[in-house]
Amino acid sequence: QLQLVESGGGLVHSGGSLRLSCAASGFSLEHYAIAWFRQLPGKWREGVSSISSFGGITSYTDSVKGRFTISKDNAKNTVYLQMNSLKPEDTAVYYCAAAYGSTWYYQPPSFTDESEYDVWGQGTQVTVSS
């Protein structure tokens, strides 16, 4: 069974940091590109960041550029999202998703078409207090 499990969410004060992890089980992340999405209360799910399968090519939505960093550790079969300088508007459930295919070997997948993603995690709650 292919699974992604997110962890690392929690409650943090504005300006604080969290590191989210996305661990794969039942398959290797080596040939998968990964994206983080988030769903803010009462809003649509939106893309946050993505990373290519190889080469560490990354993409970020404008609101998190300079604050969030995505990284991929194939040896640990895990992807991370380091979130610094958190703001109350970052409060959301964060999901990771995996996209398989050579298209994403050296370019990060887009956020606009969720059908590109083959495996989704269950999400982890991040709450940033003001």
Render pLDDT for 35-69 as a digit per residue (tens, 0 to 9).
999 999 889 999 999 999 998 899 999 999 999 99
What's the rounded Cα separation, in Å, for the pair 49 and 68?
8
Q: Residue 20 — very low, low, confident or very high, per pLDDT cuts 50/70/90?
A: very high
Assess contact for 32 and 102: CB atoms under 8 A: no
Assess contact for 29 and 100: CB atoms under 8 A: no
Interval 2-19 mean pLDDT: 97
pLDDT of residue 112: 79
With CA atoms as reference, report the closest residue to 12 among 60, 72, 67, 56. Answer: 67
Assess contact for 71 and 80: CB atoms under 8 A: yes
